[in-house]
Chain A
Amino acid sequence: MMKTQKVLTEVESKELLAKDGIPVVEARLARNKKEAIAIAREIGFPVVLKIVSPDVVHKTDSGGVRLGLANATRVGRAYSEILSSVRQAYPGARIQGVSVQQMVPPGVEVIVGMSKDVQFGPVLMFGLGGILVEVLKDVSFRIAPVSKRDAGEMIREIKGYPVLDGYRGQEPASVTALEDLIVRVSEFVEKNPQIEELDLNPVFAYPDRAVAVDARIIL
């Protein structure tokens, strides 16, 4: 029998994560242009708009993401453009609207994920974001529950660790904040055994904190 999977949207995923104290960039759902502009005003410009649809897997590739929108006019225009390009890329996709979130400053991009292993249950994964994880598979694993020390080892184990440790005069990213985030994610997946898969991609790591910019949970 095939297990039916349910993919939570970014808005739903982040709500669950935030409730358990995992730092996320809050994303609020706007069902139309007017709502998008109102939320953007509330959050403060610049903002990011992303398509919210359970059927859209590659949000960026389908033109479903717009960054750095500095005022209401741009938010309004971006809303229409996102909807039309996603409808073209995914005809028939169920579209709930767009998510509106703060445009956070750039940090070192990392990913934190969880998948289930047939023998060991939930396995946490850590890696640098982007090409390093996709091409070089430069990632580390630990099974839940992940202790603070395990998390520290996961972070320092990857080959790309120097990038986090202050590459070329950059201020180092906070390993403590990342450790804390990994431990919280581990606790979160242990508490919610119905979660089959989880991706925080990317997480932005800063010198003093780390925050999940995008998130996806599969039940």
Chain B
Amino acid sequence: MSDDILKQFDPVFYPKSIAVVGASADAMKAGSYWVQTLVSAGYRGPIYPVGSRGGSIAGLEIYRNIRDIPGEVDYVIVAIPSRSVLDLLDDCAAKSVRAVQFFTAGFSELDTESGRSLEERMVEKARWGGFRIIGPNCIGVYCPEHRVSFLMGAIGEPGCVGFVSQSGGIAGKLATNGMARGIGYSKGVSCGNGIDLDASDFLEYLAADPQTRVIGAYLEGTRDGRRLFNTMREVSSVKPLVVWKGGRTEVGARAARSHTGSLASSPSVWSAVLKQAGAVEVHGLDELTDTLLLFQHAEHWQGARVGVIGGLADGGGGISVSAGDACTEIGLEVPPLSDQTDRALRELLGEVGSILGNPVDVSQAQFRGFPALFQAIETVAGDASIDFVLIQQDVDILLPMYSRAGLETINDFFIELRGRLGKPLVMVLPPGPVEQERLRLEQKLLAASIPVLSSVERAARAIFNVNTYFRRREIEAGQRDAA
């Protein structure tokens, strides 16, 4: 069954050749953009531009009709007006293509009878022609491993996170945010109106895909709520599924209808459906990427007890207090540390000017040197009463105090500690006036599998989301064993 689905989606995510319909010698045309995008992504298979006026683009001959292409065509990207799509689909059938993606918009999202009936006829033609349709009204697939992209320019490193988005804009944001934040994608897809292959189909595929370990989704609605629910339930029983539902308010829902033609259910029903399916619900792009980033670095999570360390140099008091609040309010535990840890910290840091409970303010280490700082952090991190370590590092305070070389030493220590700690380490690097240095450290830590988030509140929320998923999985496994 899972082999079948992998084979079925092979021409979608691993096409051997791609035709772009709507290309012209004019680089400003949408079709031309798609040709340039594939070239810039470094796609290795043949790219066949198709356009009624012929000519060439990016050194590639433009064919006047898809039937004129000499080789086989797996995948077709369509960027021509909706009035010409039915004829094109006849040509696609004659050419025995495997999948057709419509960048073209102007269908059911217009909420017109003609838009809906055109979609119905497209699906009929696809069934008859033996190919699948992606979209319409979408930007299609993203598969860094196969160098297929919907983004001009950088393509990003392949990884283990897959995503489905009913919006092309948000699909693009997920991909670019991922590149900036060290999230590696196995596959992504923008499925638009989803007249043939819809979000459920792609979720099923990602659940079966061996490259994908974590799945994110941006959904606005569904034509078959029951199927989506059942699919999400199956998917989240094998892989973490993080869902952002757009169109939660009346204003948002109205926009969603004209965006992807989705009908609106109440937000409370959606939340209930997601919970019931075992998916993790998030409420925006930031929370979605934060949570995917943490899942990427967490094969499994041991528990909800967090050790919070703030004030690596100075200004740790208030930060530690508020970090404790942020974690607790969201539903994480910040337990007291063991007596042994407490004694060790007193010896290392002294009693004055420190908070030696949990959260821990280690700022007094600034007067005692790196060995004391590192030993204090290691003592807290190693305490058996905590499951993971959350460290806030204020680059704007540390840089003038220790210089760049000192910052390197501190972060090399974190990377080395992460390697032998045996529990997850999450780093908070708040944005500030020394942004360039902060971004450099973020990349350094991400490369060493330390997830970096921009505030304790966001980190706490993402940690909580990951925990919620794994706890539920554990409970379910326990129930299965008991049954």
The contact sample of 8 A-B pairs, CB cut-off 8 A, is A117-B269, A119-B263, A123-B272, A139-B268, A142-B272, A142-B276, A143-B272, A153-B275
Interface size grouping (class) on chain A: 10 to 19
Interface size on B, residues (CB 8 A): 17
The contact string, 1 if C-beta is below 8 Å from chain B, for chain A 99-131, is 000000000000000000111110100000000
Q: Which residues does B use to contact A, with CB under 8 Å?
A: 221-222, 225-226, 229, 263-266, 268-269, 271-273, 275-276, 479
Chain B residues in 8 Å Cβ range of A150: 276
Chain A residues in 8 Å Cβ range of B275: 153
In the bound complex, CA of A143 to CA of B225 (Å): 10
Chain B residues in 8 Å Cβ range of A121: 225-226
Known contacts A143-B273, A143-B276; A118 and B268 CB within 8 A of each other: no
A206 in contact (CB, < 8 A): no
**Which residue of A119, A121, A149 has the most chain B CB atoms within 10 A of its CB atom?**
A119
Chain A residues in 8 Å Cβ range of B221: 119
A146 closest partner in B (C-beta): B276
CB distance from A123 to the nearest CB of B (A): 6
In the bound complex, CA of A121 to CA of B264 (Å): 13
Q: Which residues does A use to contact B, with CB under 8 Å?
A: 117-121, 123, 139-143, 149-150, 153
Chain A residues in 8 Å Cβ range of B276: 142-143, 150
CB distance from B370 to the nearest CB of A (A): 48
CB distance from B223 to the nearest CB of A (A): 8
CB atoms of B225 and A117 under 8 A apart:
yes
Chain B residues in 8 Å Cβ range of A149: 479
In the bound complex, CA of A35 to CA of B264 (Å): 49
CB distance from A127 to the nearest CB of B (A): 11
CB distance from B262 to the nearest CB of A (A): 8
CB atoms of A119 and B272 under 8 A apart:
no
In the bound complex, CA of A139 to CA of B269 (Å): 11
B226 closest partner in A (C-beta): A121
In the bound complex, CA of A139 to CA of B411 (Å): 48
In the bound complex, CA of A150 to CA of B273 (Å): 11
Chain A residues in 8 Å Cβ range of B271: 141
CB atoms of B225 and A120 under 8 A apart:
yes
CB atoms of A119 and B268 under 8 A apart:
no
CB distance from B441 to the nearest CB of A (A): 41
CB atoms of B263 and A141 under 8 A apart:
no
In the bound complex, CA of A118 to CA of B268 (Å): 14
CB distance from A193 to the nearest CB of B (A): 12
CB atoms of A140 and B225 under 8 A apart:
no
Chain A residues in 8 Å Cβ range of B225: 117, 119-121, 143
Known contacts A118-B263, A118-B264, A119-B221; A141 and B226 CB within 8 A of each other: no
In the bound complex, CA of A45 to CA of B109 (Å): 62
In the bound complex, CA of A153 to CA of B274 (Å): 13
In the bound complex, CA of A149 to CA of B278 (Å): 12
In the bound complex, CA of A150 to CA of B278 (Å): 11
A119 closest partner in B (C-beta): B225
In the bound complex, CA of A121 to CA of B225 (Å): 8
